[in-house]
Amino acid sequence: MDFLPLPEGLSEHELVPELPGAPYDNQGFSGYDVRQGWNVQLLREGNIRGARTEWNEYSQASLTEHGDDVHGFDGEQLVQFLVAPFIQNWIIYGLSQSALGHHISRDDTTFTRINERGEMRRYLTLKRLFGEFSARKEELAQDAQWHQEFPALLEEASWILADLDALHDELGAPVIPGPTAVVLSALLRTMQDHAIIWCFPHIIDTSAPSRVRWLDYKLRDEGWCPERIGRLRVELGPEGLYYASLLEVNKDGKNHDECSKSACVAYNVTNYDAYRQRHDTRYCDCRDEICTHDVDSCACRIAYDVESLTEKIRVSVMQGRIPLLIASHSDRRTELEVKDSHEGQEYIAISHVWSDGMGNPHQNGLRPCLIHFLDFCVQKLFEALKPGAEPIFWLDTICVPLLPREARDAAIESMRRVYTDASAVLVITQDLISRPLPSTFQETIVRICQSKWLKRLWTMQEGVLAKSLAFQFENHAIDYEFLDHQVHREIHATTDKSALVGSRATLMVSNLITMQGIDKSREDLFNSFWFNIRHRATSRLSDQAVCGSILCGLDLRPVLAADDEDKMRVFWKSCQDIPFGVFWANGPRFDLDTMRWAPKSFLHPSTWAVPPPKTGLTAKVLDDGLHFSGVNAFYLQSVDLPSLEDSMIEFQAGVDPTAYTMLLTKNVDNPSWNSLRPFWKCVCLLWHELPHSGGFSHGVLVSYSGVDEQELCAEPPHAQQTVLRSRWLAQVNIFAKGGDWDAFVASFPTRYGKDGDLLPRQAVDVIVHPSRPQKISKEREWCIY
């Protein structure tokens, strides 16, 4: 891993032993498997014994360097030491030779060192090869043949690694030793991403998703949150997850047993009665570890008049102003003064995570030590941004009144203005302020992108709306725009260390802060919102409707006035016009008349996993349902309801000879075929677009009422006479037969035949064939309820 930078405090990466085996023949990546006697397809399928026809000579040559140790190998170790050296040499030597165009020797990729047992061993080193790769970027960028050939090798290698990694769960152990698998995946992904950057647009990403299960499971055993593991692996790749594991940030005492791969709930605040503000000993003389900091003798008790301050804030928010705060200090006490904002007012909006202890569910008050800390942070930031400005700030803990509800709602309604008008938004989280600002830009951005700030729902809008965003460390804040610029400068540097982990990390924040652009359409805004809400969590699920309204610029009053369980429904009603792509979105929906089309939660992983497709169409949210036109639709005349839950319906689209198949989408709350029986009449299929061969598209089944079949399928102008009122039935996926369709069907579960034998899926007749469906004019207006 020595082609990646190191975090502060580490002198070298963990050494990864070379896996000794048959030496590389320097005849190129392509065909190396055949030349070495391997059937790589059988190997990828898990048939390790059948992947070679000759084992004795190969195993003797491969295990020679292990000496007497081989007699103690168990089955797992034998597999690893026979298969893994072949894969290691194929990828390291084969890809390096193909990338650089010359022979690669063992001395190019390894070095020797005496291990802890006093034995001389070889370890992998790839920084020299990566350094040459980086130095020749301009030459490679001009090589048209290289553009064509090298990406294909990277794609093949990535899918091989992905298939072998997928065998981990089946075999109960990795085929390739974990540290070696991390090196191979990291090298492959790093070479590919650099090639894409240097040679854009000649090279695009067609690789397999990167994953090393060994690393995932190792971090989970160390107490890491499963959401954090999955998010960092997807966003930063295995090499980024490895780098993050070196930072030792997982020691905040939180238990992640209740967290899932889609959301971290460890930082939810569920017991408000037990909530206590944290104490910052750097700004207080109280050193009593058992002190509650609310007794008269404690220097850190809240001594100023909280009610008087809160009343001034209530008056300010009810008059439509933004209340701001400025601290004053004397020998005896710390005070806060309220100032109303005015046009051009300079102030800092504080963004924090309540579980860190800077909230207060009991009163709108803050301990003096925290006021001192915030005053220090705001002053330091203004010194960099606006020298001479008063250290004025806004903090929700004080500036959003707890009572009465009218004042609280008024303060929340103004939040969009609070963050957009602020000179800067300053992010303060315990996992960042507990450490000095790192000396390298990569470590700084990776620490930011894995902080809890990026996990929480409310902090999303605070980052999106900021005109300037800064992150506070122990004694310094860093401006994100400056950090982003510095990280991207490092990508193009010629060096033996890749800066791509830092670059990918910046995208996690940049995707957030670019959500609100002046050129963003309503459709762009919804899609960005869908993308950025991934993996976020909140203590109150109903808050998603509030945050969604703020970010989408909706009238907040109806949502705030609604009961918690009704807020999402009111959110959709408040939209009035929505991008039609929402209609095709996945995830659970309301089981309510007029609202069956509406997603029930943005935070459900089925919903946010895939943003709605862009259609360029708009739908209207009216009292009786969702109204739209311009959609592809067929009347499924006389189609029988499938009898088996995994059954498919096959059809042809008009004169198109292609056969299409629809399958119920496997989503939470999406009904089964049998549950549709009471509504299975006059069924129509609406789809986003017909898929290409081997692909799939989104579709929705509806049951219409109110018109006869002749009027339903009438062409203009008669088609414009009646709105087609239809009940939402279910989401479906539509597949075009051909291409990968046979492989897709073959992957379905098997079923028992008449004699109790397991039959392959394609041998079972579970496809319902309707008569040729009738096309419905795209000009028809639909109302889906």
DSSP letters spanning 583-646: GG--S-B--STTTTTSBS-SSSHHHHTSPPPP-S-EEEEETTEEEE---EEEE-TTPPPPSSTT
Confidence check: pLDDT of 759 > 50? no
Question: Tokens for 658?
Answer: 């292609």
pLDDT of the residue at 747:
47
Contact 191, 142 (CB under 8 A): no
The band of 753, judged by pLDDT with boundaries at 50, 70 and 90, is very low
**784 CB-side CA count, 13 A:** 29
Provide the H-helix boundaries in 288-439: 306-318, 368-385, 396-399, 405-413, 415-421, 430-433
pLDDT averaged over the chain?
A: 88
pLDDT of the residue at 763:
38
pLDDT of the residue at 752:
35
pLDDT digits (tens, 9 = 90+) for 509-524: 998 888 876 667 888 8
The band of 490, judged by pLDDT with boundaries at 50, 70 and 90, is confident
Confidence check: pLDDT of 126 > 90? yes
pLDDT digits (tens, 9 = 90+) for 656-670: 677 788 888 877 778
Please compute the mean of the pLDDT values over residues 433-448 and round it to a whole number: 95
pLDDT of the residue at 689:
82
Phi, psi of 111 (to 5 degrees): -140, 165
Peptide bond into 642 cis (omega under 30): no
Q: In terms of DSSP bridges, do strands 751-752 and 469-472 run parallel, antiparallel, or are they unpaired?
A: unpaired
Please compute the mean of the pLDDT values over residues 447-454 and round it to a whole number: 94
pLDDT of the residue at 493:
79
pLDDT of the residue at 236:
94
The band of 67, judged by pLDDT with boundaries at 50, 70 and 90, is low
What distance in Å separates the CA atoms of residue 669 and residue 675, rounded to the nearest whole number? 11
Confidence check: pLDDT of 342 > 70? yes
Sign of the CA dihedral with 529 first, then 534, 535, and 541 last: positive
pLDDT of the residue at 373:
96
Q: Is 261 exposed, middle or buried (0-12, 13-18, 19+ CB in 10 A)?
A: middle
Please compute the mean of the pLDDT values over residues 189-211 and round it to a whole number: 82
Q: Count CB-CB contacts under 10 A for residue 60.
A: 10
Decide: helix, strand or coil at residue 770: coil
What distance in Å separates the CA atoms of residue 676 and residue 700, rounded to the nearest whole number? 13
Q: Count CB-CB contacts under 10 A for residue 211.
A: 21
Contact 446, 244 (CB under 8 A): yes
pLDDT digits (tens, 9 = 90+) for 364-377: 999 999 999 999 99
Q: Above pLDDT 70, what percent of the chain?
A: 91
Q: In terms of DSSP bridges, do strands 393-394 and 348-352 run parallel, antiparallel, or are they unpaired?
A: parallel
Confidence check: pLDDT of 757 > 50? no
pTM flag (> 0.75) = yes
Phi, psi of 582 (to 5 degrees): -55, -30
Q: Count CB-CB contacts under 10 A for residue 546.
A: 23
Q: What is the DSSP letter of 732?
A: E
What distance in Å separates the CA atoms of residue 702 and residue 700, rounded to the nearest whole number? 6
More confident residue, 646 or 88: 88
Phi, psi of 616 (to 5 degrees): 75, 0
Query: For the chain, first and last CA: distance in Å?
Result: 56
What distance in Å separates the CA atoms of residue 31 and residue 343, rounded to the nearest whole number? 70
Confidence check: pLDDT of 579 > 90? yes
Which single residue is written with the structure tokens 């592809």? 632
pLDDT of the residue at 760:
42
Decide: helix, strand or coil at residue 397: helix
What distance in Å separates the CA atoms of residue 309 and residue 312, rounded to the nearest whole number? 5
What distance in Å separates the CA atoms of residue 387 and residue 196, rounded to the nearest whole number? 42
More confident residue, 756 or 696: 696
Please state at what angle helix 213-221 crosses helix 226-245, rounded to 10 degrees.
100
Query: Which of these ranges, 46-60, 174-188, 440-454, has the smallest mean pLDDT?
Result: 46-60
Decide: helix, strand or coil at residue 721: coil
Residue 577 bridge partners (DSSP): 620
Q: What angle do CA 173, 227, 552 make, to 5 degrees?
A: 150
- Measure Cα distances from 603 to 260, 275, 460 in Å: 13, 25, 13
Q: What angle do CA 71, 184, 449 make, to 5 degrees?
A: 125
Residue whose C-alpha is closest to residue 354's, from 422, 452, 260, 261: 452
Query: Which of these ranges, 263-277, 543-557, 768-782, has the smallest mean pLDDT?
Result: 768-782
More confident residue, 31 or 645: 31
What distance in Å separates the CA atoms of residue 275 and residue 644, rounded to the nearest whole number? 52
Confidence check: pLDDT of 348 > 70? yes
pLDDT digits (tens, 9 = 90+) for 248-301: 776 778 899 999 999 999 999 999 999 989 988 888 877 777 777 777 778 777
> What is the rounded radius of gyration, in angstroms, for the C-alpha atoms of the chain?
30
Residue 635 bridge partners (DSSP): 684, 774
Query: Which of these ranges, 33-37, 611-615, 762-766, has the smallest mean pLDDT?
Result: 762-766
Q: Above pLDDT 90, what percent of the chain?
A: 64
Question: Tokens for 198?
Answer: 């240097």
More confident residue, 697 or 542: 542
pLDDT of the residue at 762:
44
Please compute the mean of the pLDDT values over residues 606-634 and round it to a whole number: 93
pLDDT digits (tens, 9 = 90+) for 385-420: 999 999 999 999 999 999 999 999 999 999 999 999
Provide the H-helix boundaries in 136-212: 137-141, 144-171, 178-199
What distance in Å separates the CA atoms of residue 741 and residue 696, rounded to the nearest whole number? 10
Residue whose C-alpha is closest to residue 233's, from 214, 217, 212, 259: 212
Please compute the mean of the pLDDT values over residues 330-338 and round it to a whole number: 84
Question: Tokens for 303?
Answer: 């001594």
More confident residue, 23 or 432: 432
Q: What is the DSSP letter of 537?
A: B
